[in-house]
C-alpha cells in the first residue's frame, strides 16, 4: 500500500465482495503505519527515520510517527488488480485522545449499504467509529458523510 516496507506495516481486517452492478471485485479495509521503532528496526539510519515518522516517501501520505495508523480502503477486481485506494485518518483539532500528538485510525470491517456505498467500522484511538461513503465506482469513493 505504499511506504518503506522496512518501517510501514499494513494490517488488513476485512473484505467484502462487491455486487456485479458496480463491476464486482472486492473492497478491503486496512490500516497502514509504523508499529514501533525499538525492536522493529535493525540499523541506526532506519531507526532515526522511524523516530521522525519517516517511511512514507513516494506516497501521498503525511508522515506519522510510530503507533499512529492511517485507515486505508482499496478496491480490486476478481484477479486482484487494484482500481483505487483511499487513505484517511480522523482528525479533530481539540482531540485530547492522541498518540504522539496525532489521531490514529484503522479501517476494520467494511459493510455494503443499501444506497450502493460502503460503511467502515473504524478503530480510533478514542474508541470506535463509523465512516460512510455514498457510492462505489471506478474512482475513489466520494467524501464520507459526517456521522455523529
Residue 39: HSE in the Cβ half-sphere, 13 Å Cα cutoff:
0
Residue 21: HSE in the Cβ half-sphere, 13 Å Cα cutoff:
8
pLDDT tens digits, 46-89: 888 888 877 766 555 567 778 888 888 888 888 888 887 777 76
Residue 119 lies in a domain: yes
Residue 40 lies in a domain: yes
Q: Kindly report the pTM of this predicted structure.
A: 0.73
Residue 41 lies in a domain: yes
Residue 146 lies in a domain: no
Residue 1 lies in a domain: no
Full domain range(s) for residue 66: 8-133
Residue 87 lies in a domain: yes
pLDDT tens digits, 88-136: 766 665 555 455 556 778 888 899 988 778 888 988 877 788 888 876 6
Residue 123 lies in a domain: yes
Q: Does the structure show a pLDDT above 50 at 145?
A: no
CA pair distance 145, 136, nearest whole angstrom: 14
Amino acid at each position: 500500500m505504499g511506504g518503506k516496507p522496512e518501517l510501514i506495516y499494513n494490517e488488513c481486517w476485512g473484505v467484502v465482495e462487491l455486487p456485479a452492478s458496480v463491476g464486482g471485485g472486492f473492497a478491503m479495509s486496512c490500516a497502514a503505519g509504523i508499529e514501533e521503532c525499538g525492536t522493529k528496526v535493525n540499523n541506526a539510519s532506519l531507526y532515526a527515520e522511524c523516530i521522525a515518522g519517516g517511511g512514507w516517501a513516494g506516497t501521498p501520505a503525511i508522515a506519522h510517527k510510530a503507533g499512529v495508523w492511517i485507515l486505508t480502503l482499496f478496491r480490486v477486481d476478481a484477479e486482484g488488480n487494484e482500481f483505487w485506494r483511499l487513505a484517511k485518518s480522523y482528525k479533530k483539532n481539540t482531540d485530547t485522545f492522541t498518540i504522539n500528538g496525532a489521531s490514529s485510525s484503522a479501517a476494520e470491517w467494511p459493510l455494503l449499504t443499501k444506497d450502493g456505498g460502503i460503511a467502515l467500522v473504524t478503530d480510533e484511538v478514542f474508541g470506535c467509529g463509523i465512516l460512510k461513503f455514498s457510492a462505489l465506482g471506478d474512482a475513489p469513493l466520494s467524501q464520507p458523510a459526517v456521522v455523529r
